[in-house]
Amino acid sequence: MRIKKQFWIILAIVFIVFWILGVLRFDYGIAAILFKVLLFPFGFLLAIIENYCVSHYSMSHFLNDEFFGMFMFGIAVLCQAILINFIVNWIRKR
């Protein structure tokens, strides 16, 4: 039961950090750098995918749609939380 609670706490923290830095990275260059560094590897991948889709596809393409962006955001948050949870559990076992 403790591992589930730990995972939900990590997921909530990762979601908040992703959301705040994700919003601020469009206006502040330092936030974009922090987004890519603190949330490596999935925040970095999300930023690359978003930049690619915006620059290569029209606004009517499904890869440049808000729903696809939110789906990718959710996948990135979930994967980042799983990775951090794995690292925390690995450190605790040592």
**Res. 2: pLDDT tops 80:** no
Q: Mean of the pLDDT values across residues 18-41?
A: 94
Top-confidence residue, 86 or 62:
86
**Res. 41: pLDDT tops 70:** yes
Phi-psi region of 13 (alpha: psi -120 to 50; beta: other; left: phi over 0): alpha
> pLDDT digit string (tens) for 44-85?
999 999 999 999 988 888 888 889 999 999 999 999 999 999
CA distance 43 to 33: 10
Task: Check if the beta carbon of residue 18 is closer than 8 Å to that of residue 80.
Answer: yes
